[in-house]
Structure 1
Amino acid sequence: MKKSIIVILIACCSLVIRAQKGGSSTYDFLNLTSSAKVGALGGNNISLKDSTDLNMAYHNPALLHASMDNSLVFNFVPYVGDTQYGYVGFGKEFKNVGTFSIGIMNMNYGEFDRADDVGNILGTFSAAEYSFNIAYSRQFSPNFSMGMAIKPIYSKMDTYQSFGIATDFGIAYFKAESGFSFGATIKNLGSQITSYDDTYEELPTDFQIGISKKLKHAPFRFSITAQNLLVWDTDIENEDDNYVSDDISFGDNLLRHMVFGVEFLPTKNFHVDFGYNHKRRKELGYSEKMSTAGFSWGFGFKAYKFHVAYGSARYHLGGTSNHFSISTNLSSF
Structure 2
Amino acid sequence: MPKNLRGMLAVATAALLALAAGCTPTGPSVDDDPRASDAAETERPLVLTTFTVIADMVREVAGDRVEVRSITRVGAEIHGYEPTPGDLRQARGAELVIENGLGLEAWFAQFIADVDAPSVTLSDGLDPVRIASTDEANPHAWMSPVAGQHYVARIAEALSELDPGGAEHYAARAAAYSADLDAVADELAAAIERVPADARVLISCEGAFSYLVRDLGLDEAYLWPVNADQQATPQRVAAVIDTVRERAVPAVFCESTVSDDAMRQVAADTGAQFGGTLYVDSLSGPDGPVPSYLALLRHAAETIATGLAS
TM-score by length of 2: 0.28
Q: Which has the higher helix share?
A: 2
TM-score by length of 1: 0.26
Q: Which has the higher strand share?
A: 1
